[in-house]
Each structure stands twice: as structure tokens, then as C-alpha cells.
């Protein structure tokens, strides 16, 4: 059932870390939270670009360097963070040409999932309230998640497969984290959301002719950035938000419309695969979560 979100609560005294905050939905979320009194740390791969965004916004906003394509950079960022309330794992790449992260993983999976997995694990003992993982309706466009080939060494690369796989992993990670947190008795909560479809600039980086037509098409069928940011803002701030719900727009195949509980693919509900992904992600990143998220694994 769709719901009309309550007005955003006052956020004075609350600190947020947002990845990929130097444009698109990250910028919109930063603007809104800061306008409601929050302290926002914009975690950006390009700090200069991030600062340019921060300079045109109003509020308690700072910028920090974070390259999710480099696990050593993720560790450096984590070492600088004190306690805060909410981590919003928002940064992402979509349908980009083949490349590898510094650590050798396919870039979309490496940034969209593994970088955020490592970041969350390294920061978990400093988060006071909740974690938000931003997935996508595209998670349902894949029927497999080849955990034995995260580097695309055994199969031919397809950007249109790699992106849905990364967003499926994002969704399953958020759900498995919530399962573990709840099972351990932790007060932390893990939310999964999707923004629907909006002209954020994400799809215009494929280096193909598609870049010329994608944004106008999205403006035609999608919704505004402000509307698309509502699922993130709701999950990040609403006291009564259910962490077991996949929040997002509910109309036109979940591309737009009022916020509510959204369906997800059958594969995304495979709890055995959640745990397999967790194990593979720990092995790939070298990051093991604190005890609050590793108890009651079965």
C-alpha cells in the first residue's frame, strides 16, 4: 500500500554520511537533510566537485574524499569518521564500459556493492541508528548472481548484466544485514530502497549514443529528482519505517508515484544466497563485520 510520507522530522543533532553526494540523488538528499538541520558529510570520489556542490547549498555540510573503487581509500575514509547516525550508501555506476577497480573487480560490482559492503563493515561500530542501501528496479533484470566470477574472468563482459547484478547484491546485502542485526539484538536497522526512475545523470555515462537520448526519455517516463529522493529520505529519517520493507515508488512498474512497499525478484529473496554473497564479499574485501552483525548467521 502506498503511503504519503510524513513531513521530514527536524534533524538537528543528527549526523549523516552520504556516498556519491556530489550530484543526482545524493545532492538532493544532502540539500534536504541540511535544510532540516542535519549535519551532512558528503563522501565523494572527487572532493573538489563535491565542494562545488556544497558551496551552493545551505547548512552544516562538509566534504570528504572517498573512492569506492579503491578498498585502501575506503579504509582511509573510515579511519577519519567519528560517530554518526545514518549511513546512506547511495553512490553508483551504471552501464559503464568494462574496467576494473584498484583491487581488480569489475567496476560496477566493485563500486556499487563491494565498496559499500566494506565501508559499512568498517563503520558499523560508529553508526548510532541505521544504514540505507540504495538498490534499483533493475535488480530484477538478472536471473543469476555469479559469485564465483566477480572479476569477469570466466565470462564475457556485459555492462547490461553487470549493473543489475550489482544492484541485486545491494538489495540482498541490505536485507542480510538487517537479518543479522535483528538476530543479534542490535538496535541498528538496515533499510533497502529504490528511487524509481529519474534524470539523475546516472545513465548518461555509457560512452555510447544512448547517452544522447537517455535523459530526455527518462524525463518523459520518470519523476523528478525531488520525488525520487523520497524513498531514501523516508528510510533515513522516519522513526516508524519498517526495515523489512523494500521502499520505493509504487506506480508505472515502480518507476514513479507515491512511496510504498515494492516487490522484488524471487532471486533477491533467496536467503541462502544472501549468506553466500556475504561470505564472498568478506573474502573479496577482507572486511569482517563487528559481532553485532555476525551472530546468528544460520
Active-site positions read 163
In whole angstroms, what is the distance from residue 258 CA to residue 262 CA? 11
Nearest alpha carbon to residue 115 among 82, 66, 68, 72:
68
Three-state SS at 121:
helix
Strands (E), the chain: 2-3, 15-19, 39-44, 60-65, 84-89, 127-134, 189-193, 246-251, 256-261
Rounded to the nearest 10°, the torsion over CA 257, 261, 262, 267 is 170
Dihedral of CA 5/133/201/220: which sign? Answer: negative
Closest by alpha carbon to 40, among 90, 88, 93, 92?
Answer: 88
CA distance 9 to 12: 9
What are the phi and psi torsion angles at 246 (to 5°)?
A: -90, 105
Closest to 236 measured CA to CA, from 91, 29, 25: 29
Amino acid at each position: 500500500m502506498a503511503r504519503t510520507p510524513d513531513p521530514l522530522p527536524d534533524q538537528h543533532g543528527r549526523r549523516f554520511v552520504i556516498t556519491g553526494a556530489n550530484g543526482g540523488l545524493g545532492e538532493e538528499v544532502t540539500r534536504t537533510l541540511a535544510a532540516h538541520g542535519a549535519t551532512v558529510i558528503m563522501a565523494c570520489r572527487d572532493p573538489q566537485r563535491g565542494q562545488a556542490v556544497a558551496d551552493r547549498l545551505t547548512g552544516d555540510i562538509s566534504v570528504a574524499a572517498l573512492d569506492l573503487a579503491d578498498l585502501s581509500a575506503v579504509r582511509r575514509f573510515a579511519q577519519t569518521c567519528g560517530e554518526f547516525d545514518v549511513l546512506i550508501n547511495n553512490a553508483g555506476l551504471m552501464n559503464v564500459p568494462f574496467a576494473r577497480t584498484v583491487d581488480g573487480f569489475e567496476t560496477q560490482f566493485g563500486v556499487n556493492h563491494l565498496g559499500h559492503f566494506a565501508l559499512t563493515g568498517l563503520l558499523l561500530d560508529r553508526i548510532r541508528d541505521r544504514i540505507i542501501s540504495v538498490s534499483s528496479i533493475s535488480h530484477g533484470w538478472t536471473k543469476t548472481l555469479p559469485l564465483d566470477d566477480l572479476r569477469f574472468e570466466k565470462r564475457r563482459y556485459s555492462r547490461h548484466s553487470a549493473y543489475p547484478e550489482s544492484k541485486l547484491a545491494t538489495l540482498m546485502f541490505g536485507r542480510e544485514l538487517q537479518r543479522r542485526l535483528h538476530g543479534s539484538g542490535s538496535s541498528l536497522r538496515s533499510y533497502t530502497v529504490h528511487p524509481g526512475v529519474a534524470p539523475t545523470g546516472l545513465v548518461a555515462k555509457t560512452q555510447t549514443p544512448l547517452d544522447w537520448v537517455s535523459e530526455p526519455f527518462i524525463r518523459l517516463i520518470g519523476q523528478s529528482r525531488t520525488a525520487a529522493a523520497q524513498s531514501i529520505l523516508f528510510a533515513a529519517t522516519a522513526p516508524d519505517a519498517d526495515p523489512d520493507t523494500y521502499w520505493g515508488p509504487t506506480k508505472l512498474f515502480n518507476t514513479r508515484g507515491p512511496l510504498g512497499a515494492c516487490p522484488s525478484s524471487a532471486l533477491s529473496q533467496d536467503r541462502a544466497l544472501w549468506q553466500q554473497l556475504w561470505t564472498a564479499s568478506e573474502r573479496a574485501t577482507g572486511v569482517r563485520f563487528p559481532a553485532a552483525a555476525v551472530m546468528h548467521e544460520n
